[in-house]
Amino acid sequence: MGVSPSASDQRLTTMSQAIDSRPAPSEANPFHIAQRQFDEAAEYLDLEPALRELLRWPRREYKFTIPVRMDGGGTRVFHGYRVQYNDALGPTKGGLRWHPEETLDTVRALAAWMTWKTAVMDIPLGGGKGGVTCNPKELSEGERERLARGWMRVMARELGEHRDVPAPDVYTNPRIMAWMMDEYEVITGRSHPAVITGKPLVVGGSVGRDDATARGGVLCVREACRRTKVNPRGTYAIQGFGNAGQYAALLHEDILGGGKLVAVSDTSAALHNPDGFDPRETVDYKLRNGHLAGLPGSREISSDELLALDVDVLYPSALENVITETNAGDIKARIICELANGPTTPEADEILNRAGVHVIPDFLANAGGVTVSYFEQVQGTYNYYWTLDKVHRELEANMVNAYRAVCKMHDEQQVHMRMAAYLVAVARVAEAVKIRGWV
Ligand code: GLU
């Protein structure tokens, strides 16, 4: 099955507090989790106290209001965010989520993970994240455009290809990036294709950006199967069927040379078919209907049953805190490829590690997206665009190198894969901070 970025693929969209230093173990606040993970790595690396304090907090954060004229005549005020977590390795980089449960703390966590993500990939960028608390499904096209432009009007002076470069994430898409770039260019009076990535091709997007997150994850799975001797043509399940989950379904068999997609889920349903779903038909059904419920040939199961299926590869591809201490013990997958950001809580992590599951941690597994965003930024900056073949070759080289660097650390230090990824990433950022003379 060939997968190329066709017009229909462009329709795949991502429609898919003050912190105390020792949060309670059951804490599900993603920023507490991000800080706990960092603290463990800092301890392991024996970072000095000032460096630790600098890296466990965002360098800058913006929280603001965005008034939007609604179609019905009134004005609604939305809450927007941008966190520029760390820019020691380069301009901050990271997506924008439009989600009803977005808070400053979710954005902080995601901005921290972006910092470790660009660092583990060894690309010259820092980490940032932004968002708006809203339910975009309830907004008209015009309201979404005014919200996108309103966000950019507040943030424009703090962004730029040499400062901070946003991109799509959950419930934002290339169209929204185009409106934002356009607003930025209206404000600055200049062309700035590299101020934002994940744009439509016609306004300076990169070929291969649309499926890059999933492609990077599936490439890691290919490497992981070789390393752990798991059957690459075995079974796989996908939890979450937005942009990353849909493309993972389409790419898995191509990249691994076979496989059987036995379960899929989205917010409408979790579905099982031991004989295997056809990935293309499943994606087409989701695109036609907007949800998976009712997919022919499937049996409905619970989300926890999906996570507990006896599969070779499990792709958590939705949001944070899906694999927790209550369901981690039931997981039978040999490899977990975290296409979502933060799907596994630290307590669940320990259970998975004890069980010997090979976890490809989120900020490695889903780094293909930001890597091709970086390529898009490079192309936009010198205004010359690459072929799909070149994007794929460069992405593959970057992913394989990063996966191997993490495995090397895992073998040398005898730490689990997430900690190995943290050690690689945090050491790189710490070195840049020190060499710049910040601490
Ligand atoms: N939102 C994606 C992520 O979490 C992509 C970020 C980017 O392309 O800058 O990695």
Per-residue pLDDT band for 17 (boundaries 50, 70, 90) equals very low
343 lines ligand 1 (CB under 6 A): no
CB 355 within 8 Å of CB 334: no
Report pLDDT digits (tens) over 284-323.
999 999 999 999 999 999 999 999 999 999 999 998 889 9
Ligand 1 atom index nearest CA of 372: 8
CA 265 to chain centre: 18
Span from the CA of 369 to the centroid of ligand 1 (angstroms): 5
197 lines ligand 1 (CB under 6 A): yes
Q: Give the span between the Cα atoms of 235 and 276, in whole angstroms.
A: 8
Q: Calculate mean pLDDT across residues 346-366.
A: 96
339 lines ligand 1 (CB under 6 A): no
Question: For position 319, what pLDDT does the model report?
Answer: 85
Residue 15 has pLDDT above 50, yes or no: no
3-state secondary structure 372-400: HHHHHHHHHHHCCCCCHHHHHHHHHHHHH
Span from the CA of 379 to the centroid of ligand 1 (angstroms): 17
Report pLDDT digits (tens) over 237-258.
999 999 999 999 999 999 999 9
167 lines ligand 1 (CB under 6 A): yes
Question: For position 25, what pLDDT does the model report?
Answer: 38
Percent of the chain that is helix, strand, coil (3-state, to 5):
50, 20, 35
Q: Give the span between the Cα atoms of 345 and 340, in whole angstroms.
A: 12
130 lines ligand 1 (CB under 6 A): no
Name the nearest CA neighbour of 325 among 19, 10, 27.
27
Is the pTM higher than 0.85? The answer reads yes
The DSSP-derived string for 93-124 is: EEEEEEETT--HHHHHHHHHHHHHHHHHTT-S
Q: Calculate mean pLDDT across residues 263-274.
A: 96
Among protein residues, the one whose CA lies closest to atom 9 of ligand 1? 94
Phi, psi of 190 (to 5 degrees): -140, 160
Residue 120 has pLDDT above 70, yes or no: yes
Sequence-ordered list of residues with C-beta below 8 angstroms from that of 222, at least 6 positions apart, any chain: 232, 255, 256
Residue with tokens 């993972």: 248
Residue 387 has pLDDT above 60, yes or no: yes
Q: Which of 85, 373, 377, 395 to mutate to test the pocket of ligand 1 (most atoms within 8 A of CB)?
A: 373
Phi, psi of 260 (to 5 degrees): -135, 120
Q: Which of 96, 114, 366 to mutate to test the pocket of ligand 1 (most atoms within 8 A of CB)?
A: 114
Enter the DSSP assignment of 71: T
SS3 32: helix
Dihedral of the CA atoms 5, 6, 12, 13 (nearest 10)? 70
90 lines ligand 1 (CB under 6 A): no
Span from the CA of 327 to the centroid of ligand 1 (angstroms): 28
Per-residue pLDDT band for 5 (boundaries 50, 70, 90) equals very low
SS3 439: coil
369 lines ligand 1 (CB under 6 A): yes
Among protein residues, the one whose CA lies closest to atom 8 of ligand 1? 370
Q: Give the span between the Cα atoms of 314 and 334, in whole angstroms.
A: 8
Question: For position 27, what pLDDT does the model report?
Answer: 54
Question: For position 28, what pLDDT does the model report?
Answer: 79
pLDDT above 70 coverage of the chain, percent: 94
Per-residue pLDDT band for 11 (boundaries 50, 70, 90) equals very low
Span from the CA of 309 to the centroid of ligand 1 (angstroms): 29
366 lines ligand 1 (CB under 6 A): yes
Q: Calculate mean pLDDT across residues 362-376.
A: 98
Ligand 1 atom index nearest CA of 113: 4
End-to-end Cα, the chain, rounded Å: 52
Domains of the chain: 5-56 (no CATH), 60-192 (3.40.50.10860), 212-360 (3.40.50.720)
Residue with tokens 């994606």: 283
Question: For position 158, what pLDDT does the model report?
Answer: 98
Sequence-ordered list of residues with C-beta below 8 angstroms from that of 439, at least 6 positions apart, any chain: 48, 50, 51, 54, 433
SS3 17: coil
Environment class of 407 (CB within 10 Å of its CB; exposed 0-12, middle 13-18, buried 19+) = middle
Average pLDDT value for the chain: 93
Report pLDDT digits (tens) over 167-203.
999 899 999 999 999 999 999 999 999 999 999 999 9
Question: For position 153, what pLDDT does the model report?
Answer: 98
93 lines ligand 1 (CB under 6 A): yes
Span from the CA of 310 to the centroid of ligand 1 (angstroms): 30
Ligand 1 atom index nearest CA of 198: 8
Report pLDDT digits (tens) over 18-42.
223 333 433 579 999 999 999 999 9
pLDDT above 90 coverage of the chain, percent: 92
